Chain A
Amino acid sequence: MSTTTLDSAASPAATVADASRRRVRRRGRSSPLGRTVTHGLLVLASLVAAAPVTWLIYLSLGPDKNDYLHPGGIAGKATFSNYSFVLRHTNFFKWLESTLIVALGTTVVAVAFAATTGYAVSRMRFPGHRPLMWVLLLTQAFPIAVLIVPMYEIFSELGLIDTYGALILVNCSTIVPYCAWLMKGYFDTIPVEIDEAGRVDGLSPFGTFLRLIMPLARPGLAVAAFYSFITAFGEVAFASTFLLDDEKYTFAVGLQSFVSEHDAQWNYMAATAVLIAVPVAAFFYLVQKHLVTGLTAGGTKG
Chain B
Amino acid sequence: MTVAIESATARRGGDGGRRPGPLQRLRRGYQKYWYAYAMIAPVVVVLGVLVGYPLVRGFYLTLTDADSLNSARTIGVNHIDATYTFVGLDNYKDILFGPTAYDRFWSHFLWTVVWTALCVFLHYAIGLGLALLLNQKMRGRTLYRLLLILPWAVPTFVTVFSWRVMLADSGALNQLLGHLHLPQPQWLEDTFWQRFAAIMVNTWCGVPFMMVSLLGGLQSIDASLYEAAEMDGANAWQRFRHVTLPGLRTVSSTVVLLGVIWTFNQFNIIFLLFGRTSAPDAQILVTWAYQLGFGQQPRDYAQSAAYGVLLLSILTVFTSFYFRWLKRNDQLAV
Contacts and interface: CB of A to CB of B under 8 A. Distances in A.
Contact of B130 (A45, A69, A157): A45
A145 B304 contact: yes
A151 interface: yes
A132 to B, nearest CB: 6
Contact of A295 (B57, B73, B216, B308): B216
Contacts of B38: 116
Given A153-B61, A299-B251, A143 B162 contact: no
Interface string B262-292: 0011011001100101000000011001100
A143 B308 contact: yes
Contact of A114 (B43, B155, B209): B43
A56 B217 CA distance: 33
B43 A177 contact: yes
Nearest to A34: B136
Contacts of A241: 294
Interface in B253-269: 253-255, 258, 261, 264-265, 267-268
B144 A42 contact: yes
A146 B305 contact: yes
Interface in A1-25: 15, 19
Contacts of B74: 156, 159
Contacts of B250: 299-302
Contacts of B251: 296, 299-300
Contacts of B172: 55, 68, 71
Contacts of A301: 250
Interface in A69-84: 69, 71
Contacts of A270: 161-162, 165
A52 to B, nearest CB: 4
A120 interface: yes
A295 B175 CA distance: 39
Contact of B54 (A113, A126, A150): A150
Contacts of B294: 148, 152, 241
B326 interface: no
Interface string A253-270: 001100101000010011
Residue in B53, B134, B138 whose Cβ sees the most chain A Cβ within 10 Å: B138
Contact of A255 (B13, B33, B53, B161): B161
B40 A280 contact: no
Main secondary structure of the interface of A (DSSP, over half): helix
B312 A146 contact: yes
30 contacts: A38-B133, A52-B162, A53-B159, A69-B171, A116-B40, A120-B40, A124-B13, A135-B47, A136-B43, A138-B316, A141-B315, A143-B315, A146-B55, A146-B312, A149-B305, A149-B308, A151-B54, A152-B293, A156-B71, A173-B51, A176-B43, A177-B46, A177-B51, A199-B15, A234-B155, A236-B268, A236-B271, A292-B212, A299-B213, A301-B250
Interface of B: 9, 12-13, 15-16, 32-33, 35-40, 42-44, 46-47, 50-51, 53-55, 57-58, 61, 71-74, 126, 129-130, 133-134, 136-138, 140, 144, 146-159, 161-166, 168, 170-172, 175, 204, 208-209, 212-213, 215-217, 220, 227, 230, 233, 250-251, 253-255, 258, 261, 264-265, 267-268, 271-272, 275, 277, 285-286, 289-290, 293-294, 301, 304-305, 307-309, 311-312, 315-316, 319
Interface of A: 15, 19, 27-30, 35, 38-39, 41-42, 45-46, 48-50, 52-53, 55-56, 59, 68-69, 71, 112-114, 116-117, 119-127, 132, 135-154, 156-157, 159, 169-170, 172-173, 176-177, 180, 188, 192-193, 195-196, 199, 204-206, 209, 230, 233-234, 236-237, 240-241, 251-252, 255-256, 259, 261, 266, 269-270, 273, 276-277, 280-281, 284-285, 288, 291-293, 295-296, 298-302
